[in-house]
Amino acid sequence: MVLLCVALGITTYLGTGNPILSMFMMLSGSVGLQVVTGVTLENPEGMFFATALTGIKRKSQNPQLGGSKRLYIILAEDILNEFIDYELIKTSGKYSGAIPLAAGKMAVEIEAWYDTLKWDGEMKIGAGFTQGIEFDILGYDAEIAKIMALLYETPVNIIVQGNDNSLYYLGNKYVPLMFEAKYGTPPKGTERKKATFTAKNDGYIHPVCPLTNTVTFAVAALPA
């Protein structure tokens, strides 16, 4: 709309050759723009999605448990709607409530080996955010082969519970994660067999989302 005011001034000048009249037309258009939208040529900041910053006080930590202990995987197609977005993170920084799953759909739990489950992310100028996760499962057997086949090119979202019981949500319905895996025979007899699962994606418009302890979601029972 600002460009329309500029175009109005240029058109007037080209038609009349009168710079004073063209300036008057631009200012008149600016006044009309301000009345309709609250945006003016003299104050173009309103054209951008600027948001006032909030401060963060200096933080300290008591001795606490690091790492993560539980991993839940949700099929992206089982999520009813996108419920985490930039506006939510920008205003509250977290999500609380129920995860919107389709009727009868549940998350599944995978028990990673101790001290191998971790997630990370990056914020990149002009490229948004990345989100990623990694974990190990010991051994290599039919169950591991089956979960690899089920996860192959399968869009998922992930909930991770830390050892301090904090919860974090990775992925979106329409920008999901997909797993890759490495596995094989160890070179020495004393080393453990394991499969390492990793998933990472970029282009997110928000970082990994903290969940409050009021979040609820259905979880399928682990096999006996």
169: exposed, middle or buried (C-beta count within 10 Å: 0-12, 13-18, 19+)? buried
What is the per-residue pLDDT for 185? 86
The beta-carbon contacts of 118-124 under 8 Å, at least 24 apart in sequence, are 118/67, 118/68, 119/68, 119/158, 119/160, 119/168, 119/170, 119/208, 121/207, 121/208, 123/207, 124/202
Question: Is residue 110 predicted with pLDDT exceeding 70?
Answer: yes
What is the per-residue pLDDT for 66? 80
Q: State pLDDT tens for residues 48-85.
A: 456 788 888 888 877 667 889 999 999 999 999 999 99
The whole-angstrom separation of Cα 76 and Cα 91 is 25
Between 26 and 99, whose confidence is greater?
A: 99
The model's pTM: 0.76
- CB 13: neighbour CB atoms within 10 A? 17
Q: Which residues does residue 182 pair with via DSSP β-bridges, in sequence order?
A: 196
What is the per-residue pLDDT for 186? 85
Q: State pLDDT tens for residues 157-190.
A: 999 999 999 999 999 999 999 999 999 988 888 8
Q: Cβ distance 155 to 177 under 8 Å? A: yes
Question: Is residue 200 predicted with pLDDT exceeding 60?
Answer: yes
- CB 80: neighbour CB atoms within 10 A? 12
CA quadruple 84, 132, 217, 152: dihedral sign: positive
Which range among 45-59, 112-126, 183-197 has the greatest average pLDDT? 112-126
What is the per-residue pLDDT for 45? 43
- CB 114: neighbour CB atoms within 10 A? 11
What is the per-residue pLDDT for 178? 98
Q: State pLDDT tens for residues 138-160.
A: 999 999 999 999 999 999 999 99
What DSSP line would sit under 194-220, residue for residue?
EEEEEEEEEEESS-PEEE-TT-B--BP
Helix 2-16 and helix 19-37, axial crossing angle in degrees, nearest 10: 160
The whole-angstrom separation of Cα 125 and Cα 101 is 33
Question: Is residue 2 predicted with pLDDT exceeding 60?
Answer: no
Residue 137's closest CA among 169, 179, 168?
179
